[in-house]
Structure 1
Amino acid sequence: MEYVSNHASKGTIRVLQLYPRDMNIYGDWGNALVLQQRIRWHGYTPELLEYNVDDEFPDDVDIILGGGGQDSGQLIIQDDLQARGPMLRDMAEDGTPMLVICGLYQLFGRFFKTSSGTIIPGIGILDVETHGSSERLIGNVTLDSPEFGEVLGYENHSGQTTLGPSVRPLGMVSKGAGNNSKDGHEGARYRNVVASYLHGSLLPKNPAIADFLIRTAAERKYGTFLPGHPDDGFAMLAREHAARRPR
Protein backbone atom coordinates (compact mmCIF):
# COMPACT_ATOMS: atom_id res chain seq x y z
CA MET A 1 0.00 0.00 0.00
CA GLU A 2 1.38 3.40 -0.97
CA TYR A 3 2.16 5.70 1.94
CA VAL A 4 0.46 9.10 1.72
CA SER A 5 1.43 11.87 4.12
CA ASN A 6 -0.77 14.83 5.03
CA HIS A 7 2.31 16.93 5.71
CA ALA A 8 4.99 18.35 3.47
CA SER A 9 8.15 16.27 3.32
CA LYS A 10 11.14 17.50 5.31
CA GLY A 11 13.39 16.34 2.45
CA THR A 12 14.54 13.25 0.61
CA ILE A 13 16.91 10.62 2.06
CA ARG A 14 18.49 8.29 -0.49
CA VAL A 15 19.29 4.77 0.72
CA LEU A 16 21.56 2.55 -1.39
CA GLN A 17 21.73 -1.22 -0.97
CA LEU A 18 25.06 -2.64 -2.18
CA TYR A 19 24.98 -5.82 -4.27
CA PRO A 20 21.50 -7.08 -3.29
CA ARG A 21 21.65 -9.62 -6.14
CA ASP A 22 24.65 -11.44 -4.63
CA MET A 23 24.84 -10.23 -1.02
CA ASN A 24 21.34 -10.51 0.40
CA ILE A 25 21.05 -13.57 2.61
CA TYR A 26 18.98 -14.32 5.72
CA GLY A 27 16.64 -11.39 5.16
CA ASP A 28 19.15 -8.54 4.96
CA TRP A 29 16.92 -6.71 2.45
CA GLY A 30 14.60 -6.17 5.43
CA ASN A 31 17.05 -3.55 6.70
CA ALA A 32 16.34 -1.43 3.62
CA LEU A 33 12.59 -1.82 4.07
CA VAL A 34 12.80 -0.75 7.73
CA LEU A 35 14.77 2.36 6.81
CA GLN A 36 12.27 3.15 4.07
CA GLN A 37 9.36 3.03 6.51
CA ARG A 38 11.08 4.83 9.38
CA ILE A 39 12.24 7.62 7.07
CA ARG A 40 8.57 8.14 6.20
CA TRP A 41 7.54 8.06 9.86
CA HIS A 42 10.10 10.75 10.59
CA GLY A 43 8.52 12.93 7.90
CA TYR A 44 11.14 12.58 5.17
CA THR A 45 10.79 11.04 1.72
CA PRO A 46 12.75 7.79 1.21
CA GLU A 47 14.36 6.90 -2.08
CA LEU A 48 15.46 3.27 -2.13
CA LEU A 49 18.20 2.41 -4.63
CA GLU A 50 20.33 -0.62 -5.37
CA TYR A 51 23.77 -1.15 -6.84
CA ASN A 52 24.95 -4.42 -8.42
CA VAL A 53 28.14 -5.40 -10.22
CA ASP A 54 28.83 -3.12 -13.21
CA ASP A 55 25.93 -0.76 -12.48
CA GLU A 56 26.43 2.98 -12.56
CA PHE A 57 26.91 4.16 -9.00
CA PRO A 58 24.21 6.72 -8.14
CA ASP A 59 25.01 10.25 -7.02
CA ASP A 60 24.10 11.90 -3.73
CA VAL A 61 23.66 8.76 -1.64
CA ASP A 62 22.79 9.46 2.00
CA ILE A 63 22.89 5.96 3.58
CA ILE A 64 24.77 2.84 2.45
CA LEU A 65 23.54 -0.68 3.28
CA GLY A 66 25.31 -3.97 2.63
CA GLY A 67 24.27 -7.53 3.39
CA GLY A 68 25.72 -10.98 3.74
CA GLY A 69 26.39 -13.73 1.24
CA GLN A 70 28.11 -17.01 0.66
CA ASP A 71 31.84 -17.12 -0.17
CA SER A 72 30.78 -17.50 -3.80
CA GLY A 73 28.89 -14.21 -3.64
CA GLN A 74 31.93 -12.46 -2.21
CA LEU A 75 34.04 -13.78 -5.08
CA ILE A 76 31.49 -12.48 -7.60
CA ILE A 77 31.57 -8.94 -6.27
CA GLN A 78 35.22 -8.63 -5.21
CA ASP A 79 36.60 -7.00 -8.37
CA ASP A 80 33.76 -4.50 -8.62
CA LEU A 81 34.00 -3.73 -4.90
CA GLN A 82 37.73 -3.10 -5.23
CA ALA A 83 37.03 -0.67 -8.08
CA ARG A 84 34.49 1.15 -5.91
CA GLY A 85 36.68 0.94 -2.81
CA PRO A 86 38.36 4.39 -2.99
CA MET A 87 34.99 6.11 -3.41
CA LEU A 88 33.43 4.14 -0.54
CA ARG A 89 36.44 4.88 1.68
CA ASP A 90 36.09 8.59 0.93
CA MET A 91 32.38 8.43 1.76
CA ALA A 92 33.08 6.65 5.06
CA GLU A 93 35.80 9.14 6.02
CA ASP A 94 33.43 11.99 5.16
CA GLY A 95 30.86 10.59 7.59
CA THR A 96 28.31 8.86 5.39
CA PRO A 97 26.25 6.52 7.61
CA MET A 98 26.66 2.88 6.60
CA LEU A 99 25.37 -0.46 7.85
CA VAL A 100 27.22 -3.55 6.61
CA ILE A 101 26.26 -7.08 7.63
CA CYS A 102 28.25 -10.34 7.64
CA GLY A 103 29.86 -10.79 4.21
CA LEU A 104 30.16 -7.09 3.45
CA TYR A 105 31.29 -6.47 7.01
CA GLN A 106 34.18 -8.82 6.22
CA LEU A 107 34.95 -7.17 2.88
CA PHE A 108 34.85 -3.67 4.37
CA GLY A 109 37.83 -4.88 6.39
CA ARG A 110 41.38 -5.66 5.28
CA PHE A 111 40.77 -9.18 3.96
CA PHE A 112 38.81 -12.39 4.31
CA LYS A 113 40.88 -15.57 4.19
CA THR A 114 38.59 -18.51 3.46
CA SER A 115 38.96 -21.89 5.16
CA SER A 116 40.49 -23.21 1.92
CA GLY A 117 43.18 -20.51 2.02
CA THR A 118 41.81 -18.17 -0.65
CA ILE A 119 42.37 -14.53 0.28
CA ILE A 120 39.61 -12.15 -0.76
CA PRO A 121 40.95 -8.61 -0.32
CA GLY A 122 38.80 -6.07 1.44
CA ILE A 123 38.58 -2.34 0.85
CA GLY A 124 40.06 -1.34 4.19
CA ILE A 125 37.37 0.94 5.57
CA LEU A 126 37.42 -1.08 8.78
CA ASP A 127 40.55 -2.15 10.66
CA VAL A 128 39.43 -5.78 10.89
CA GLU A 129 40.54 -9.10 9.41
CA THR A 130 38.61 -12.34 9.00
CA HIS A 131 39.78 -15.93 8.81
CA GLY A 132 37.50 -18.77 7.78
CA SER A 133 37.31 -21.71 10.16
CA SER A 134 35.65 -25.10 10.55
CA GLU A 135 33.68 -23.79 13.54
CA ARG A 136 30.26 -22.38 12.67
CA LEU A 137 28.93 -19.67 14.97
CA ILE A 138 25.16 -19.91 14.77
CA GLY A 139 22.25 -18.93 16.95
CA ASN A 140 20.50 -16.07 18.68
CA VAL A 141 22.65 -13.22 19.97
CA THR A 142 22.22 -10.52 22.59
CA LEU A 143 24.84 -7.85 23.03
CA ASP A 144 25.25 -4.75 25.15
CA SER A 145 26.10 -1.66 23.12
CA PRO A 146 27.20 1.60 24.75
CA GLU A 147 25.44 3.52 21.94
CA PHE A 148 22.33 1.49 21.21
CA GLY A 149 21.56 -0.39 24.41
CA GLU A 150 20.63 -4.06 24.13
CA VAL A 151 20.98 -5.26 20.53
CA LEU A 152 19.29 -8.48 19.41
CA GLY A 153 19.89 -10.59 16.32
CA TYR A 154 20.89 -13.91 14.82
CA GLU A 155 24.33 -14.99 13.67
CA ASN A 156 25.32 -17.69 11.19
CA HIS A 157 28.94 -17.51 10.04
CA SER A 158 32.19 -19.43 10.06
CA GLY A 159 34.43 -16.40 9.61
CA GLN A 160 36.38 -15.39 12.70
CA THR A 161 36.83 -11.61 12.71
CA THR A 162 39.23 -9.70 14.95
CA LEU A 163 39.31 -5.95 15.46
CA GLY A 164 42.34 -3.72 15.06
CA PRO A 165 43.10 -0.68 17.25
CA SER A 166 41.33 1.91 15.08
CA VAL A 167 37.85 0.40 15.47
CA ARG A 168 35.74 -0.43 18.49
CA PRO A 169 33.19 -3.22 18.86
CA LEU A 170 29.51 -2.54 18.33
CA GLY A 171 29.02 -4.22 21.70
CA MET A 172 29.92 -7.05 24.03
CA VAL A 173 28.05 -10.33 23.72
CA SER A 174 25.95 -11.55 26.64
CA LYS A 175 24.43 -14.41 24.61
CA GLY A 176 26.04 -15.91 21.52
CA ALA A 177 29.53 -15.76 20.02
CA GLY A 178 29.85 -12.53 18.05
CA ASN A 179 32.86 -11.71 15.89
CA ASN A 180 34.71 -14.84 16.94
CA SER A 181 34.68 -17.56 19.56
CA LYS A 182 37.23 -15.87 21.82
CA ASP A 183 36.96 -12.20 22.77
CA GLY A 184 33.24 -11.51 23.25
CA HIS A 185 33.15 -8.64 20.75
CA GLU A 186 30.33 -8.28 18.23
CA GLY A 187 30.48 -6.04 15.22
CA ALA A 188 32.58 -2.95 14.66
CA ARG A 189 32.14 0.82 14.79
CA TYR A 190 34.16 3.38 12.86
CA ARG A 191 33.01 6.95 12.26
CA ASN A 192 29.38 6.51 11.11
CA VAL A 193 29.87 2.92 9.92
CA VAL A 194 28.03 0.18 11.82
CA ALA A 195 29.18 -3.37 11.03
CA SER A 196 27.72 -6.56 12.44
CA TYR A 197 27.26 -10.28 11.91
CA LEU A 198 23.63 -10.06 13.02
CA HIS A 199 21.03 -11.10 10.49
CA GLY A 200 17.42 -11.67 11.14
CA SER A 201 17.25 -8.90 9.76
CA LEU A 202 18.93 -6.53 12.23
CA LEU A 203 16.97 -3.27 12.02
CA PRO A 204 13.39 -4.50 12.60
CA LYS A 205 14.36 -5.51 16.14
CA ASN A 206 16.79 -2.63 16.72
CA PRO A 207 15.13 0.68 15.77
CA ALA A 208 17.76 2.67 17.69
CA ILE A 209 20.34 1.69 15.04
CA ALA A 210 17.93 2.55 12.21
CA ASP A 211 17.26 5.96 13.72
CA PHE A 212 20.99 6.60 14.16
CA LEU A 213 21.47 6.08 10.42
CA ILE A 214 18.50 8.29 9.53
CA ARG A 215 19.40 11.04 12.01
CA THR A 216 23.01 11.12 10.85
CA ALA A 217 21.98 11.25 7.19
CA ALA A 218 19.50 14.08 7.82
CA GLU A 219 21.97 16.11 9.87
CA ARG A 220 24.65 15.79 7.21
CA LYS A 221 22.28 16.71 4.39
CA TYR A 222 20.01 19.31 5.99
CA GLY A 223 21.97 20.50 9.02
CA THR A 224 19.41 19.22 11.51
CA PHE A 225 17.16 16.23 12.18
CA LEU A 226 13.52 16.78 13.02
CA PRO A 227 12.22 13.47 14.38
CA GLY A 228 8.73 12.22 13.76
CA HIS A 229 6.66 9.72 15.72
CA PRO A 230 7.60 6.18 14.64
CA ASP A 231 5.36 3.31 15.66
CA ASP A 232 7.69 1.00 17.60
CA GLY A 233 4.99 -1.41 18.77
CA PHE A 234 5.93 -4.27 16.46
CA ALA A 235 9.64 -3.68 17.05
CA MET A 236 9.18 -3.94 20.80
CA LEU A 237 7.10 -7.11 20.40
CA ALA A 238 9.79 -8.63 18.18
CA ARG A 239 12.44 -7.73 20.74
CA GLU A 240 10.47 -9.37 23.55
CA HIS A 241 10.14 -12.61 21.58
CA ALA A 242 13.78 -12.57 20.44
CA ALA A 243 15.06 -11.99 23.97
CA ARG A 244 13.22 -15.09 25.22
CA ARG A 245 14.67 -17.39 22.60
CA PRO A 246 17.44 -19.78 23.64
CA ARG A 247 20.83 -19.61 22.01
Structure 2
Amino acid sequence: MPKMMSQNMAVQPLTLTLGHLYPDQLNLYGDRGNILTLRRRCQLRGIELKVVGLGVGDALAPDEYDMLFIGGGQDKEQAPVAQDLYEMKGIGLWAAIEDDMPVLAVCGGYQLLAHYYRPAEGPDMRGLGVFDAWTEHKGPKSPRCIGNIAISWNGQTLVGFENHGGRTYLGTAKPLGKVIKGNGNNAEDQTEGAVYRHTYGTYLHGSLLPKNPHFADYLIELALQRKFADQSFTDTGIFNGNHADNAAGIGSTVLELQKTIVSPLLTPLEDSLEWEAHASILERLGLYSEAANVLRTHRS
Protein backbone atom coordinates (compact mmCIF):
# COMPACT_ATOMS: atom_id res chain seq x y z
CA MET A 1 0.00 0.00 0.00
CA PRO A 2 1.41 3.41 -0.88
CA LYS A 3 1.95 5.79 1.99
CA MET A 4 -0.22 8.91 1.96
CA MET A 5 1.02 12.31 3.05
CA SER A 6 0.52 13.31 6.65
CA GLN A 7 -2.37 15.74 7.03
CA ASN A 8 -0.16 18.20 8.90
CA MET A 9 2.20 18.51 5.92
CA ALA A 10 2.02 21.63 3.78
CA VAL A 11 -0.44 21.17 0.95
CA GLN A 12 0.46 22.61 -2.42
CA PRO A 13 -2.20 23.23 -5.04
CA LEU A 14 -2.48 21.44 -8.32
CA THR A 15 -0.49 23.38 -10.89
CA LEU A 16 -1.01 24.11 -14.58
CA THR A 17 1.44 26.07 -16.70
CA LEU A 18 0.27 28.31 -19.54
CA GLY A 19 2.58 29.59 -22.25
CA HIS A 20 1.58 33.09 -23.41
CA LEU A 21 2.96 33.61 -26.90
CA TYR A 22 4.02 37.18 -27.79
CA PRO A 23 2.43 38.97 -24.82
CA ASP A 24 3.95 42.32 -25.85
CA GLN A 25 3.31 42.20 -29.59
CA LEU A 26 -0.11 40.53 -29.69
CA ASN A 27 -2.37 42.04 -27.05
CA LEU A 28 -5.11 44.02 -28.77
CA TYR A 29 -8.58 44.61 -27.31
CA GLY A 30 -7.76 43.32 -23.85
CA ASP A 31 -6.97 39.75 -24.89
CA ARG A 32 -4.80 39.46 -21.78
CA GLY A 33 -8.12 39.29 -19.92
CA ASN A 34 -8.45 35.72 -21.16
CA ILE A 35 -5.41 34.73 -19.12
CA LEU A 36 -6.63 36.64 -16.07
CA THR A 37 -9.90 34.73 -16.31
CA LEU A 38 -8.20 31.35 -16.58
CA ARG A 39 -5.97 32.17 -13.61
CA ARG A 40 -8.88 33.34 -11.45
CA ARG A 41 -11.09 30.36 -12.27
CA CYS A 42 -8.24 28.02 -11.46
CA GLN A 43 -7.42 29.87 -8.23
CA LEU A 44 -11.00 29.60 -6.96
CA ARG A 45 -10.70 25.83 -7.26
CA GLY A 46 -7.33 25.55 -5.58
CA ILE A 47 -5.41 25.19 -8.84
CA GLU A 48 -2.34 27.35 -9.43
CA LEU A 49 -1.98 28.64 -13.00
CA LYS A 50 1.59 29.66 -13.79
CA VAL A 51 1.93 31.95 -16.82
CA VAL A 52 5.17 32.07 -18.82
CA GLY A 53 5.65 34.67 -21.54
CA LEU A 54 7.24 33.56 -24.80
CA GLY A 55 8.49 36.46 -26.92
CA VAL A 56 10.31 36.78 -30.21
CA GLY A 57 13.43 34.62 -30.11
CA ASP A 58 12.21 32.30 -27.35
CA ALA A 59 11.95 28.61 -28.14
CA LEU A 60 8.84 26.65 -27.21
CA ALA A 61 9.50 23.42 -25.31
CA PRO A 62 6.12 21.67 -25.36
CA ASP A 63 6.74 19.48 -22.33
CA GLU A 64 7.01 22.58 -20.13
CA TYR A 65 3.39 23.70 -20.68
CA ASP A 66 -0.17 22.48 -20.19
CA MET A 67 -1.94 25.24 -22.18
CA LEU A 68 -0.98 27.86 -24.77
CA PHE A 69 -2.49 31.24 -25.69
CA ILE A 70 -1.76 33.62 -28.55
CA GLY A 71 -3.62 36.89 -29.01
CA GLY A 72 -4.12 39.40 -31.82
CA GLY A 73 -2.16 42.37 -33.12
CA GLN A 74 -1.95 44.88 -35.93
CA ASP A 75 -0.58 43.84 -39.30
CA LYS A 76 2.75 45.62 -38.75
CA GLU A 77 3.22 43.68 -35.49
CA GLN A 78 2.25 40.36 -37.00
CA ALA A 79 5.01 40.26 -39.64
CA PRO A 80 7.99 39.66 -37.27
CA VAL A 81 5.80 37.40 -35.17
CA ALA A 82 4.87 35.30 -38.21
CA GLN A 83 8.53 34.70 -39.02
CA ASP A 84 9.41 33.83 -35.43
CA LEU A 85 6.40 31.57 -35.05
CA TYR A 86 7.41 29.59 -38.13
CA GLU A 87 11.17 29.49 -37.54
CA MET A 88 11.54 29.43 -33.73
CA LYS A 89 8.36 27.97 -32.28
CA GLY A 90 6.85 25.99 -35.13
CA ILE A 91 8.25 22.56 -34.28
CA GLY A 92 7.47 22.86 -30.57
CA LEU A 93 4.00 24.26 -31.22
CA TRP A 94 3.17 21.50 -33.69
CA ALA A 95 4.32 18.88 -31.18
CA ALA A 96 2.11 20.41 -28.48
CA ILE A 97 -0.91 20.56 -30.78
CA GLU A 98 -0.52 16.98 -31.99
CA ASP A 99 -0.27 15.90 -28.34
CA ASP A 100 -3.70 17.49 -27.72
CA MET A 101 -2.50 20.42 -25.62
CA PRO A 102 -5.32 23.00 -25.45
CA VAL A 103 -4.41 26.09 -27.48
CA LEU A 104 -6.48 29.28 -27.81
CA ALA A 105 -5.58 31.61 -30.68
CA VAL A 106 -7.45 34.90 -31.09
CA CYS A 107 -7.63 37.08 -34.22
CA GLY A 108 -4.04 37.60 -35.44
CA GLY A 109 -2.93 34.47 -33.63
CA TYR A 110 -5.75 32.57 -35.34
CA GLN A 111 -4.68 33.89 -38.75
CA LEU A 112 -1.07 32.82 -38.19
CA LEU A 113 -2.12 29.25 -37.42
CA ALA A 114 -3.73 28.97 -40.87
CA HIS A 115 -1.81 28.66 -44.16
CA TYR A 116 -1.19 32.36 -44.78
CA TYR A 117 -2.42 35.90 -44.20
CA ARG A 118 -2.49 38.27 -47.17
CA PRO A 119 -2.55 41.85 -45.81
CA ALA A 120 -3.91 44.89 -47.60
CA GLU A 121 -0.32 45.95 -48.29
CA GLY A 122 2.92 44.03 -48.30
CA PRO A 123 3.85 40.38 -48.81
CA ASP A 124 1.93 37.39 -47.54
CA MET A 125 2.66 36.23 -44.00
CA ARG A 126 3.29 32.51 -43.88
CA GLY A 127 1.35 30.62 -41.25
CA LEU A 128 1.88 27.23 -39.66
CA GLY A 129 -0.97 25.55 -41.50
CA VAL A 130 -2.50 24.07 -38.37
CA PHE A 131 -5.90 25.00 -39.75
CA ASP A 132 -6.72 24.24 -43.38
CA ALA A 133 -7.70 27.87 -43.89
CA TRP A 134 -6.32 31.15 -45.22
CA THR A 135 -6.96 34.86 -44.71
CA GLU A 136 -7.06 37.71 -47.22
CA HIS A 137 -7.54 41.42 -46.62
CA LYS A 138 -9.56 42.87 -49.50
CA GLY A 139 -8.11 46.36 -49.22
CA PRO A 140 -8.63 49.57 -47.25
CA LYS A 141 -11.94 50.31 -49.01
CA SER A 142 -13.46 47.05 -47.90
CA PRO A 143 -15.51 47.39 -44.69
CA ARG A 144 -14.10 45.82 -41.54
CA CYS A 145 -15.89 43.02 -39.77
CA ILE A 146 -16.60 44.86 -36.55
CA GLY A 147 -19.12 44.72 -33.73
CA ASN A 148 -20.65 42.37 -31.20
CA ILE A 149 -21.05 38.76 -32.27
CA ALA A 150 -22.81 35.63 -31.05
CA ILE A 151 -22.19 32.11 -32.30
CA SER A 152 -23.55 28.66 -31.52
CA TRP A 153 -21.07 26.28 -29.90
CA ASN A 154 -21.79 22.82 -28.50
CA GLY A 155 -25.47 23.60 -28.10
CA GLN A 156 -24.71 26.87 -26.28
CA THR A 157 -23.74 30.39 -27.26
CA LEU A 158 -20.40 32.16 -27.28
CA VAL A 159 -20.33 35.97 -27.39
CA GLY A 160 -17.64 38.53 -28.03
CA PHE A 161 -16.50 41.53 -30.05
CA GLU A 162 -14.87 41.20 -33.46
CA ASN A 163 -12.75 43.74 -35.33
CA HIS A 164 -10.82 42.41 -38.31
CA GLY A 165 -10.16 43.48 -41.86
CA GLY A 166 -9.05 40.08 -43.11
CA ARG A 167 -11.51 37.48 -44.32
CA THR A 168 -10.75 33.90 -43.35
CA TYR A 169 -11.91 31.03 -45.53
CA LEU A 170 -11.97 27.43 -44.39
CA GLY A 171 -10.86 24.49 -46.49
CA THR A 172 -11.42 21.23 -44.65
CA ALA A 173 -11.07 22.90 -41.25
CA LYS A 174 -13.99 22.52 -38.88
CA PRO A 175 -15.43 25.87 -37.70
CA LEU A 176 -15.58 26.69 -34.01
CA GLY A 177 -19.24 27.61 -34.41
CA LYS A 178 -21.99 29.03 -36.58
CA VAL A 179 -22.70 32.76 -36.58
CA ILE A 180 -26.06 33.70 -35.08
CA LYS A 181 -25.48 37.46 -35.31
CA GLY A 182 -22.32 39.15 -36.56
CA ASN A 183 -19.73 38.57 -39.28
CA GLY A 184 -17.52 35.69 -38.22
CA ASN A 185 -14.74 34.44 -40.45
CA ASN A 186 -15.70 36.33 -43.59
CA ALA A 187 -19.25 37.78 -43.34
CA GLU A 188 -20.29 35.35 -46.07
CA ASP A 189 -20.70 31.76 -44.95
CA GLN A 190 -21.76 32.07 -41.27
CA THR A 191 -18.68 30.23 -40.02
CA GLU A 192 -16.64 31.51 -37.09
CA GLY A 193 -13.23 30.32 -36.04
CA ALA A 194 -11.61 26.97 -36.65
CA VAL A 195 -10.79 23.83 -34.68
CA TYR A 196 -8.02 21.27 -34.99
CA ARG A 197 -7.71 18.67 -32.24
CA HIS A 198 -7.71 20.84 -29.07
CA THR A 199 -6.58 24.02 -30.85
CA TYR A 200 -9.20 26.74 -31.18
CA GLY A 201 -8.92 29.77 -33.44
CA THR A 202 -11.44 32.59 -33.19
CA TYR A 203 -12.05 36.27 -33.93
CA LEU A 204 -13.90 36.78 -30.65
CA HIS A 205 -12.27 39.49 -28.55
CA GLY A 206 -13.97 41.27 -25.75
CA SER A 207 -12.26 39.46 -23.91
CA LEU A 208 -13.68 36.11 -24.91
CA LEU A 209 -13.35 34.10 -21.70
CA PRO A 210 -14.70 36.54 -19.06
CA LYS A 211 -18.08 36.55 -20.82
CA ASN A 212 -17.99 32.84 -21.63
CA PRO A 213 -17.17 30.99 -18.41
CA HIS A 214 -18.27 27.67 -19.88
CA PHE A 215 -15.61 27.92 -22.60
CA ALA A 216 -12.95 28.95 -20.07
CA ASP A 217 -13.77 25.90 -17.94
CA TYR A 218 -13.74 23.70 -21.03
CA LEU A 219 -10.13 24.69 -21.73
CA ILE A 220 -9.12 24.16 -18.10
CA GLU A 221 -10.75 20.72 -18.11
CA LEU A 222 -8.87 19.77 -21.28
CA ALA A 223 -5.60 20.77 -19.66
CA LEU A 224 -6.33 18.76 -16.50
CA GLN A 225 -7.45 15.71 -18.43
CA ARG A 226 -4.34 15.80 -20.57
CA LYS A 227 -1.96 16.33 -17.65
CA PHE A 228 -3.45 13.38 -15.79
CA ALA A 229 -4.05 11.23 -18.85
CA ASP A 230 -2.56 8.20 -17.10
CA GLN A 231 -5.27 8.46 -14.43
CA SER A 232 -8.97 7.62 -14.65
CA PHE A 233 -11.85 9.42 -13.00
CA THR A 234 -14.63 7.79 -11.01
CA ASP A 235 -18.20 9.05 -11.15
CA THR A 236 -17.27 11.51 -8.42
CA GLY A 237 -14.27 12.73 -10.33
CA ILE A 238 -11.60 11.28 -8.02
CA PHE A 239 -8.49 9.65 -9.44
CA ASN A 240 -8.33 5.85 -9.50
CA GLY A 241 -5.34 3.56 -9.85
CA ASN A 242 -2.12 5.01 -8.50
CA HIS A 243 -4.00 8.03 -7.20
CA ALA A 244 -2.20 8.26 -3.87
CA ASP A 245 1.21 7.95 -5.52
CA ASN A 246 0.31 10.73 -7.93
CA ALA A 247 -1.04 12.90 -5.14
CA ALA A 248 2.16 12.58 -3.16
CA GLY A 249 4.21 13.17 -6.28
CA ILE A 250 2.60 16.51 -7.03
CA GLY A 251 2.51 17.59 -3.40
CA SER A 252 -1.25 17.36 -2.87
CA THR A 253 -3.31 15.11 -0.62
CA VAL A 254 -6.17 12.99 -1.90
CA LEU A 255 -8.50 15.13 0.18
CA GLU A 256 -7.28 18.25 -1.57
CA LEU A 257 -7.79 16.63 -4.97
CA GLN A 258 -11.34 15.72 -3.96
CA LYS A 259 -12.03 19.35 -3.17
CA THR A 260 -10.54 20.48 -6.46
CA ILE A 261 -11.52 17.92 -9.07
CA VAL A 262 -15.11 16.68 -9.05
CA SER A 263 -17.54 15.47 -11.68
CA PRO A 264 -17.71 16.47 -14.44
CA LEU A 265 -14.25 17.70 -13.49
CA LEU A 266 -14.42 21.22 -12.07
CA THR A 267 -16.49 22.49 -9.18
CA PRO A 268 -19.12 25.01 -10.32
CA LEU A 269 -18.46 28.66 -9.49
CA GLU A 270 -20.81 31.53 -8.70
CA ASP A 271 -20.96 33.01 -12.21
CA SER A 272 -24.01 35.29 -12.09
CA LEU A 273 -22.05 38.38 -13.20
CA GLU A 274 -20.37 36.50 -16.03
CA TRP A 275 -23.67 35.19 -17.35
CA GLU A 276 -25.30 38.60 -17.03
CA ALA A 277 -22.48 40.02 -19.17
CA HIS A 278 -23.02 37.18 -21.65
CA ALA A 279 -26.75 37.84 -21.78
CA SER A 280 -26.15 41.57 -22.17
CA ILE A 281 -24.29 40.98 -25.45
CA LEU A 282 -27.12 38.76 -26.68
CA GLU A 283 -29.64 41.49 -25.84
CA ARG A 284 -27.60 44.12 -27.68
CA LEU A 285 -27.74 41.87 -30.72
CA GLY A 286 -31.53 41.57 -30.43
CA LEU A 287 -31.34 37.93 -29.35
CA TYR A 288 -33.76 38.36 -26.47
CA SER A 289 -35.03 34.78 -26.22
CA GLU A 290 -31.46 33.46 -26.18
CA ALA A 291 -30.55 35.96 -23.45
CA ALA A 292 -33.58 34.95 -21.37
CA ASN A 293 -32.72 31.27 -21.76
CA VAL A 294 -29.16 31.87 -20.61
CA LEU A 295 -30.23 33.74 -17.49
CA ARG A 296 -32.98 31.24 -16.69
CA THR A 297 -30.62 28.28 -17.07
CA HIS A 298 -27.84 29.66 -14.93
CA ARG A 299 -30.01 31.23 -12.27
CA SER A 300 -31.63 27.86 -11.67
Give yes or no for TM over 0.5.
yes
Contiguous gaps of at least 5 residues in structure 1 = 1-6
Q: Where do 5+ consecutive residues of structure 2 fail to align?
A: 1-9, 238-260, 287-300
Give 2:282's aligned amino acid.
A
Aligned twin of 2:40: 37
The residue number in structure 1 matching 2:82 is 78
Q: How does 1:47-196 map to 2 (within 5 A)?
A: 47-57=50-60, 60-83=64-87, 84-116=89-121, 118-133=123-138, 134-145=142-153, 147=154, 149-165=156-172, 167-196=173-202
- Equivalent pairs counted in the alignment come to 239
Instruction: For 1:234, give the aligned amino acid.
Output: L
Instruction: Choose 184-193 or 56-65, whichever is displaced more.
Output: 56-65
Give the secondary-structure state (helix, strand or coil) at the position aligned to 2:95: helix
- Residue 281 of structure 2 corresponds to 242
Alignment CA distance shift 1:148-1:32 (3 Å) = farther
Asked if the contact 1:9–1:44 (Cα under 8 Å) also holds between the matched residues in 2, the reply is: no
Retained in 2: the 8 A contact 1:169–1:185? yes
Identity of aligned residues (%): 38
Q: Distance in 1 between matches of 2:112 and 2:155?
A: 24
Q: Which structure has the larger Rg?
A: 2
CA distance in 1, matches of 2:155, 2:277: 16
SS in 1 for 2:30: coil
- Which is worse superposed, 119-128 or 78-87? 78-87
Distance 2:45 2:269 in 1: 7
Question: RMSD across aligned C-alpha pairs, in angstroms?
Answer: 1.7
Q: TM-score when scaled to structure 2?
A: 0.76
Higher helix fraction (1 or 2): 2
Letter in 1 for 2:30: G
2:25 equivalent in structure 1: 22
Amino acid at match of 1:98: V
Could you tell which deviates more after superposition, 48-57 or 199-208? 48-57
Q: Which stretch shows the higher mean deviation, 95-104 or 78-87?
A: 78-87
The whole-number CA distance in structure 2 between the counterparts of 1:148 and 1:53 is 38
Over 3 Å counting, the alpha-carbon distance change for 1:220 and 1:130 in structure 2 is: same
Structure-to-structure mapping, 1:212-223, within 5 angstroms: 212-223=218-229
Q: Deviations over 1:195-214 (max 9, x none)?
A: 10010000001111111111
